[in-house]
Amino acid sequence: MSRYIQLTLAVCVFIVQTDVSFSFYLPGLAPVNYCEKEKESERCKSKIPVFVNRLTSLESVIPYDYSYFDFCEPKEKSAPPPVENLGQVVFGQRIQSSPYEFLFEPAGRTPQTCVKVCERSYNSGDDKNNGKLTNLKRAIFLDYQHHFIVDNMPVTLCYMTDPGERSCNNGFPVGCYVDAQNRAKPSCYLGSNLAHKSDVYYVYNHLDFNITYHSGVNEAWGSSFQGNGGRIIRVQVTPRSIQHPADGVRCDGPQPAMEISGRDQLAGGAVRVQYTYSVTFHETHDLKWSSRWDYLLDSLPNANIQWFSILNSLVIVLFLSGMVAMIMLRTLHKDIARYNQIESGDDSQEEFGWKLVHGDVFRPPRHGMLLSVLVGSGVQVLSMMLITLVFACLGFLSPANRGSLMTCGLVLYVCLGTPAGYVAARIYKSFGGEKWGLNVLLTSTLCPGIVFSITLLLNFVLWAHGSSAALPFLTILALIGLWFGVSVPLTFVGAYFGFKKRVLEHPVRTNQIPRQIPEQSIYTRPVPCVLMGGILPFGCIFVQLFFILSSIWSSQMYYMFGFLFLVFVILVITCSETTILLCYFHLCAEDYHWWWRSFMTSGFTAFYLFIYCCHYFATKLSIVDPTSIFLYFGYTAIMVFLFFIMTGTIGYLACFWFVRKIYSVVKVD
């Protein structure tokens, strides 16, 4: 057992290291070379296109398109946006062309300064303008964040934190709001020229872009750009609020902030907002294109926290492994030797302990159809998670491939219908079930149907609010096509082979009359044991859950797949060992109803996951809108349900193997 654990740790540490080392050289991703306009050729470009993604907020779950808040529209000759994959559409990412377009200028040349993008005027008496201005103020009030993309890199806002460390955010605010009590949002501290008047909205209508590029010889790609151009390493932005003069735009020197009153938005006449930007270039020889994501990944949580949580989880695993080893090597070994010795002796002695229920331990459970369907669906989710994490650790699901993680998960889930149907059919047939048609139909539709129904309900809410996260009708049809055109047939194929196989032969016969279960102590009753069974697996993953939830709801980048794979392995081991321990205690107490209990014991980890999601909602998010609350808990319900059937399946399969193993080595008349 110890050698196995050491080998597992060695493999996982190797994956963590290779995850960081090789995750940037990805198939299909190549650097783009930029140069001056006079030297533009097939090898390099002078125009740097800028794309915009959806706007998100920590105070609202509902994202919106860039055009929803009446920002500047793209030019006619703007670069077309990249084609969105299935994962991007499902996640609600809507990458669009922007009116911003940069020209590459080597460091020291005249930069693009105070370039006017467009102008928006809101006149009194115009209801349409009033609605647009109300939307803009709402975006500022809820602290919505822009997400720009340049050269496939997110435009970041970097600032110094209290300890003197530098932190970078993937996005920057639309503006800031100072309420009637003169309380300012955190985004207001970005502008030094803000007057911080009460009940005033400040629009960040000027953006200072700072582009860092690498020039010189790059032997890995066999090209030279010394003095000619280079490759973009990072793009940082500093938003400012500027009230431009009426006769033009002016960005230098002290300028008043662009204010919009919160009392009567058009009381003072027309509101005119002019959007401008400036671009400066800086050359570097130290940073390479292949490591340009490092500064973003370095701003992620410290790896020491990850290693501390993993060591904490390993302590739990070693404790459980010691308990299981003690049972298997000492207690269980002595039980088997004593039972077999009794059978070979001359004097007949009464059976006791877990052997006493050998005639009932394989009695089919109630609602065996539902149990087989849940286990089959759990195998599908478990296989999808495992394969996705392997691809992620190998670097194929890099943040540069936006939406690739969701796309990979959806495609794998659809294609893994065969093992789901096979496992469900084999388990249902071992229960003596004969309604094979209903079994395979439920396996292919029950769990996906629950997830799809919740998603469709949430989608109607998003549609009603005009959110970019609402799935288009054609995408819904495509998902239904994948479900019924690929997943359902593959499930039927797996079920066909599962029902064609011989029935699983149990090591002991089942009595015709069920044995009465003696009164159980409080420690071996179903509810207390199920409650205790989910605590240890959850204790192994709760630290990693914080980073996962932050990436989902706080728009933070998540790329710690090596740690996540290691935690996933620990979760599987912990669920298995916890279920085996409790199953052995129940059998010793002559309680043979282990089928559903094994599934619920490890599956109850999902309950603690839900409690943690509620804690995260109350402590880390500032959501008060009823619609956003409904959406948050709707998406949480999907995540908790999938986690429930996955962990429940792990516990069931581990307990099934354990029970068959111990009763196969004992002699029974």
Query: At 434, is the pLDDT very low, low, confident or very high (cuts 50, 70, 90)?
Result: confident
Measured CA to CA, the distance from residue 339 to residue 128 in angstroms comes to: 85
Structure tokens at 228: 């000619």
The per-residue DSSP string of 77-126 comes to: TPPPPPPP-HHHHHHT---EEEEEEEE---TTSPPEEEEEEEEEEE-TT-
For residue 124, the surrounding DSSP H or E stretch is none
CA 438 to chain centre: 33
Whole-number Å distance between alpha carbons of 515 and 144? 63
* Tokens, residue 72: 């500047």
How confident is the model at residue 2, as a pLDDT?
Answer: 37
480 SS3 class: helix
- What does the pLDDT look like over 272-305, one tens digit per residue? 899 999 999 888 877 777 778 777 766 555 556 6
Residue with tokens 């998670």: 385
What is the distance between the alpha carbons of residues 487 and 104, in angstroms, rounded to a whole number? 48
**d(C-alpha 304, C-alpha 450), whole Å:** 39
Q: List, in order, residues 6 or more apart from 153 with CB less than 8 Å away.
A: 232, 234, 235, 292, 293
User: Do 139 and 60 form a contact (C-beta atoms < 8 A)?
Assistant: no
- Three-state SS for 167? strand
Q: How far is CA 61 from CA 185, 276, 626, 635, 646, in A?
A: 18, 29, 10, 10, 26
pLDDT above 70 covers what percent of the chain?
A: 83
CA–CA distance, 366 with 475 (Å, rounded to integer): 39
Predicted confidence (pLDDT) per residue in 503-530, tens digit = 888 888 878 777 777 777 777 777 888 8
CA gap 390, 413 in Å, rounded: 15
Token output for 148:
């720009």
Give backbone dihedrals phi and psi of 432, rounded to 5 degrees, phi first: 85, 15
- The amino acid occupying position 273 is V
Three-state secondary-structure class, residue 657? helix
Residue 343 has pLDDT above 80, yes or no: no
| 217-218 and 223-224 strand pairing | antiparallel
At 411, list the tokens.
Answer: 């495609």
Model pTM score:
0.85
Residue 227: both structure tokens together: 């003095």
Report the alpha-carbon distance of residue 539 to residue 545 in Å, rounded.
10
Residues near 358 by beta carbon (within 8 Å), at least 6 away in sequence: 508, 663, 666, 668
Lowest mean pLDDT among 17-21, 113-117, 146-150, 319-323: 17-21
pLDDT in tens, 537-570: 888 888 888 888 888 887 777 777 888 898 899 8
Most confident of 23-32, 95-104, 444-453: 444-453
What is the average per-residue pLDDT within 359-364?
84
Mean pLDDT, rounded, for 377-382: 96
How far apart, in whole angstroms, are the C-alpha atoms of residue 425 and residue 435? 10
Side-chain half-sphere exposure of 523, counting CA atoms within 13 A: 7
Query: What is the CB neighbour count within 10 angstroms for residue 290?
Result: 15
Reply yes or no on whether the pLDDT at 350 is more than 70.
no
Taking only the tens place, the pLDDT of each residue in 140-159 is 999 999 999 998 889 988 87
Count of other CB atoms within 10 angstroms of residue 138:
16
Q: Cα–Cα distances in Å, from 510 out to 32, 123, 277, 588?
A: 69, 83, 79, 18
pLDDT single digits (tens) 454-499: 999 999 999 999 999 999 999 999 999 999 999 999 999 999 999 9
